[in-house]
Structure 1
Amino acid sequence: MRAFTDRLGLHGLIDVHTHFMPAQVMNKVWAYFDSVGPLVGREWPIAYRADEERRVTALRDFGLRAYSSMLYPHKPDMAGWLNSWAAQFAADHPDCLQTATFYPEPGAGAYVAAAIDNGARIFKSHIQVGDYSPADPLLDDVWAVLEQAQVPVVIHCGSGPAPGRFTGPDPVRTVLRRFPRLSLIVAHMGTPEYTEFAELAEQYPQVRLDTTMNFTDFSEQDSPYPKELLPRLVDLQDKILFGSDFPNIPYGYLHALQACERLDLGEDWLRAVVYDNAAELFGIDAAVAPTP
């Protein structure tokens, strides 16, 4: 990893899409991946299945200056508890961007506002797992609060690895027509609706994309990124952020970085993606000190 950052003249990396959750929730996520083979047509081994502190140490050893604790509810009355857990996790790990989440339920706008007041700097929305539409009226207050605060939301809204009832670009378009300044980071580049989500990033000033799992050998087998879109990624250089999905990846962490590098879009592009864009978005240099 050090050779990778040295080539780019960087003193570290920023990963906007890493998962830390309460142990009982993480175990259920891992159980899902252990059984997901028939759904995706192949096994999905967890490369970094380990206890929490070993996973934190691994990210620091990789050279991460900052990372997130992506977590998400699958039912009502769960988001507030997850937000409390994530706030404590960030307090215990200052290099973690304090993460929060939400669900379409009464009072969601109020607890999202409270999470922001309590220091949340990034949110996670998982349309597939939560099985809800981002255009649900119960989320109107949530989107209004987040747009006003300009706090980014990493949103898993593409239809990969398997479509959900509300996945795809259309519900997101509906939300953005109403909240055009909403800061969204489309997870996985919107897999597999790559073109449609690239267009949204081109159209809306605060819509970005994250690279999570994209361009890797694993993802290219089933959902290859269209080569004809690569020139547009150069134009979107300032709107693409590196994400890994650590620890829930079936390959080594370095491979995710090398997968971005082998696109051969230039060192300026790569430097922006793996560090500069997130550093600017979150004020990393001012807010997060390197961890020994």
Structure 2
Amino acid sequence: MTVDGTSGATADGNAGAEADVADVADIDVSVEGEVAEVRRFWARLGLPGLVDVHTHFMPERVLRKVWAYFDAVGSVSDGVEWPITYRLEEDERLALIREFGVRAFTAMLYPHKAGMAQWLNHWAADFADRTPDCLHTSTLFPEPGVEAYVREALESGARVFKAHVQVGAYDPADELLDPAWGLLAEAGKPVVIHCGSGPAPGKHTGPEPIGRVLARHPRLRLVVAHMGLPEYEDFLGLAERYGEVRLDTTMAFTDFVERTAPFPRPELPRLADLGDRVLLGSDFPNIPYPYVHQLHALERLGLGDDWLRAVCHDNGARLFGLAEPDEEGLTPA
């Protein structure tokens, strides 16, 4: 079994992009080689492993539909293909992410229509029960009853929620969601939310709709997925304005994304200043490059080892109250 080392960058990019292609090409694409590279990354930083707040586990038939969507992306997005690197069975995906040394991860799942969220939440609760290193994940949708099933999820032990404004095609400031946002703010539970306009804008994506939610619920612990790409600067601004807003790194800074939605390098000092509120996210298993490339992409930003330690482990461990490895009976490899 091998992983795909394709970067998605093109030869007609700038000199930096061309150098990045070489970086990806140098990755050992055997599973054993990549596992070793990932573990070397966090061991060099003196970390006990990684905390990845943006990984996808969901009912198999739902996941297959997600993969089918990505398989078709090349025919609907100017020919940019999205090969799924880790198209594996659930037990194989779990084994691999653990081999990488990911101490805690999530089961990001989300409805595209009304009537799905509660069913997904029940599946996720069962998954968390049988997968102790997965942070119990739940979701929501603007529909009658949302407050009740969010409360039910909280009472069953949900530790993180996922909202996908783009896929769900809803306004996050919809009045139906307001009581649920209030519950989540009061409970202090993080919500990983895809609200940026990448890879394609939606009617309710961008900083303005979610900004209206934050104006009403300033203590809501939102984790803006994908750094809010491509509206990086606007979402950095929201994080600067609201102390509970965080950003996840999912796919940001990688060759695949930099080709079409590059992070503005003049904004790196702002990113450095927010280092205690940036969290590692990967989109595993649905990524079109090896997992380790996300880590290398963060490293080459040049923001230093302290920033990397915070982003790749410490911020997530603190947010979710993870025990120290020796308290868990775990030892770093």
- Interval containing the TM-score (normalised by the shorter chain): over 0.9
Instruction: Name the CA distance, whole Å, in 2 between partners of 1:4 and 1:258.
Output: 8
User: What letter matches 1:234 in structure 2?
Assistant: A
Matches within 5 A, 1:176-255: 176-255=214-293
Q: Which letter does structure 2 place at the counterpart of 1:210?
A: D
Is 1:12–1:64's contact at 8 Å kept on the other side of the alignment? yes
Aligned to 2:25: none
Q: TM-score, structure 1 length as denominator? A: 0.98
Identity of aligned residues (%): 61
Please name the residue that 1:84 is paired with.
Answer: 122
Q: Does 1:99 align with 2:137?
A: yes
Specify the SS of the correspondent of 2:48: coil
**Which residue is 2:164 aligned to?**
126
Q: Structure 1 residue runs of 4+, over 4 Å off?
A: none
- Could you tell me which of 259, 265, 275 is aligned with 2:297? 259
Secondary structure of 1:195's counterpart equals helix
How far apart, CA to CA, are the structure 2 residues paired with 1:276 and 1:114? Answer: 29
The corresponding residue for 2:40 is 3
Using the alignment, how far apart are the partners of 1:237 and 1:290 within structure 2?
29
Quick check: 1:65–1:291 contact (8 Å CA) kept in 2?
Answer: no
Counterpart in the other structure of 1:59? 97
Partner residue of 1:19?
Answer: 56
The Cα offsets for residues 133-161 of structure 1, whole Å up to 9 and x where unpaired, read as: 00000101110100000100000000000
Aligned-pair CA distance for 1:36: 1.1
In the alignment, is residue 31 of structure 1 matched against residue 68 of structure 2?
A: yes
Measure the CA separation in 1 of the matches of 2:330 and 2:67. 28
Once the two structures are TM-superposed, the CA of residue 38 in structure 1 deviates from its matched residue by 3.4
Structure 1 residue 117 corresponds to structure 2 residue 158: no
Moved more, 131-140 or 35-44: 35-44
Q: What is the CA RMSD across the aligned residues, in angstroms?
A: 1.3
Matched residues in 2 for 1:6 and 1:27: separation? 34
For the residues of structure 2 that align with 1:158 and 1:138, how far apart are their CA atoms?
Answer: 21
Is 1:274–2:320 an aligned residue pair? no
Structure possessing the higher radius of gyration over alpha carbons:
2
1:36-51 → structure 2 map (5 Å cutoff)? 36-41=73-78, 42-51=80-89
Cα separation, 2, equivalents of 1:76 and 1:60: 34
Superposed, which structure 2 residues align to 1:126-165 within 5 Å?
Answer: 126-165=164-203
- Alpha-carbon deviations, 1:99-150, whole Å to 9, x = none? 0000000110111011011010000000000010000001011101000001
Structure 1 unmatched ranges of 5 or more: none
Number of residue equivalences: 292
Task: Check conservation: 1:65, 1:290, Cα contact below 8 A.
Answer: no
Structure 2 counterpart of 1:48, which letter? Answer: Y
